[in-house]
Structure 1
Amino acid sequence: MFKGINHVGIVVQSIDDTLGFLSETFGAEEVSRVELPQLQQVSSIVRIGNGQFELMEPMGPDGVVGKFLEGKGGGLHHISLLCDDLDAACQEMEAKGFKVLGRMPDGPRVAFLHPKASKGILFELAEKR
């Protein structure tokens, strides 16, 4: 069902500043960048070796990322787990008592597990594309 860690999501004030730091320090490379107005955020996938980060920058104060940055000052947001079938993974996790959040009918094939049932860790389930 789960194939491994897809990426680690990190909320940052500025993708460009953080990417510059990661590039100079660790040789990071930006793989993609996308604006997600429905979520009020910009996301950048950054690769270091065979690992990936998602850098998330708010587009304004009202989205989840903006509120996270304001309340916590940025940092680790979520751990994304790769799965073959998002619908089956969500059903399995709901059967185990998890509340599934954040599924978007027109967006990326991802869902989140409420952190209350996972020891305070926000997990994202991401379908392999």
Structure 2
Amino acid sequence: MKLDHTGIAVRDMQEAITFYTTILGGKLVREYSNPAPGVASNIAVIEFEDAHIELLTPTSADSPIARFLKQRGKGVHHIAYRVDDLDQAILDAKEQGLTFLEDTYRSTPFGRRLIYMNPRHSHGVITELCDYPNA
């Protein structure tokens, strides 16, 4: 398992992109919207030499990102860890008594499969497990 990315909830996408590219020297590699229920967000992927972040803004009032911004404000939303095989990692974690937010299991338009762990196991940190089966 290795760190894949950090998701950051932002209120102003363009302002955030400018900060992470101009000030911190990252490169904007992709912007897209995910209208799926339970996601409903705009996403900008910023790449650095050895890591990347995802900037997240809500596209609807009932988006998980909108709820996060309302409850906690802008900032780190989640940390994602890449595993070799997502399905096996889920089974292994469940054998250890961990639970997942089952409705978050999905694939992105860019081939990443993911699921969020119940944050009660990770000391309140929203934790994503993901893999890239077609990479």
Partner of 2:118 in structure 1?
Answer: 114
RMSD between superposed Cα atoms in Å: 1.5
Q: For residues 14 and 65 of structure 1, what CA distance do their matches in structure 2 show?
A: 13
The count of corresponding residues between Structure 1 and Structure 2 is 127
Superimposed CA distance per residue, residues 9-65 of structure 1 (whole angstroms, 9 cap, x where no aligned partner): 110012211010111211111111221101110111111221111110110211100
Please give the secondary structure, in 2, of the residue aligned with 1:103: strand
Residue 89 of structure 1 and its aligned partner are, at CA, apart by: 0.6
Partner of 2:71 in structure 1?
Answer: 71
Task: In structure 2, give the amino acid aligned to 1:87.
Answer: D
Please give the secondary structure, in 1, of the residue aligned with 2:120: helix
**Does structure 1 conserve the Cα–Cα contact (< 8 Å) formed by 2:43 and 2:54?**
yes
Residue 105 of structure 1 and its aligned partner are, at CA, apart by: 6.5
Residue 106 of structure 1 and its aligned partner are, at CA, apart by: 7.7
Larger helix fraction of residues: 1
TM-score, normalised relative to structure 2: 0.87
Partner of 2:25 in structure 1?
Answer: 27
TM-score, normalised relative to structure 1: 0.91
1:1-129 paired onto structure 2 within 5 Å:
2=1, 4-38=2-36, 39-101=39-101, 102-104=104-106, 108-128=112-132, 129=135
Q: For residues 106 and 53 of structure 1, what CA distance do their matches in structure 2 show?
A: 15
Residue 104 of structure 1 and its aligned partner are, at CA, apart by: 2.5
Identity of aligned residues (%): 25
Task: In structure 1, give the amino acid aligned to 2:117.
Answer: L
User: Which consecutive residues of structure 1, in runs of 5 or more, have no partner in the other structure?
Assistant: none
Please give the secondary structure, in 1, of the residue aligned with 2:17: helix
Task: In structure 2, give the amino acid aligned to 1:81.
Answer: Y
Q: For residues 25 and 48 of structure 1, what CA distance do their matches in structure 2 show?
A: 12
Task: In structure 2, give the amino acid aligned to 1:103.
Answer: Y
Q: For residues 16 and 108 of structure 2, what CA distance do their matches in structure 1 show?
A: 29
